[in-house]
Amino acid sequence: MLIDDTPEIAELLTFSLRDLAHQVFASGYTNAVNDLVLEHKADAVVLDCSAYDMSEALFDSVRSHPNHAELPVVIITDTPEQAEPSLRSRKARKVLIVPKPFTGAQVGRALAQLLE
For the chain, the structural domain boundaries read: 2-115
53: pLDDT confidence band, cut at 50, 70 and 90? confident
Find the mean pLDDT for residues 54-62.
91
**pLDDT confidence tier of residue 49, bands split at 50, 70 and 90:** confident
Reported as a single tens digit per residue, the pLDDT across 82-99 is: 999 999 998 889 999 999
Q: Is residue 73 within 8 Å of residue 45, measured between CB atoms?
A: yes
What confidence tier does 42 reach under pLDDT thresholds 50, 70, 90? very high
Model confidence at 66, in pLDDT bands (50, 70, 90)? very high
3 state SS of 45: strand
Q: What is the pLDDT of residue 110?
A: 98
Non-local (6+) Cβ contacts of 63 within 8 A are 69, 71, 73, 90, 92
Q: Give the mean pLDDT of the chain.
A: 93
For residue 7, count other CB atoms closer than 10 A to its CB.
Answer: 10
Specify the pairing of strand 45-48 against strand 2-4: parallel
Band (50; pLDDT cuts 50, 70, 90): confident
Distance CA 22, CA 14 (A): 9
Task: Work out the average pLDDT over 67-77.
Answer: 94
- Say if domain 2-115 classifies as CATH 3.40.50.2300: yes
Residue 1: the pLDDT is 96
The one-letter amino acid code at 67 reads: N
Region class of 91: left (phi > 0), else alpha (psi between -120 and 50), else beta: left
